[in-house]
Amino acid sequence: MRAHQLPPLFKLYVLNNEEAFFGFYSITEHPVTLDGESVPIYDVLGKDASLFHFTTSEDDTSNGPRYVQEARAWFESVWTTLAQVYKL
């Protein structure tokens, strides 16, 4: 397992290098109480993100195959450069 310090702005699932599901996180501001004081924070709302589906089996005019390839390349770039082994 690896971890990175980038804030989560979207969710991305790549399945078998053939399908990708992508969804943007909404960002909302809400207060939390710290040491008895109300402090505004920004939070991401990932559970309600709408997912867009892309597949490599779409026709030649579709962006699906290229999107799946680029999504996988993005993941690999984060995995091999920014992510570090997570030690429990």
- DSSP string of 6-67? PPP-EEEEEETTTEEEEEEPEEEEEEEEETTEEEEEEEEE-TTPPPEEEETTS-TT-SHHHH
Q: Is the pTM of this model over 0.85?
A: no
Bridge pairing between strands 84-85 and 2-3: antiparallel
Tell me the pLDDT tens digit for each residue of 20-74: 999 999 989 999 999 999 999 998 888 889 999 999 986 767 889 999 999 999 9
pLDDT beyond 90 at 19: yes
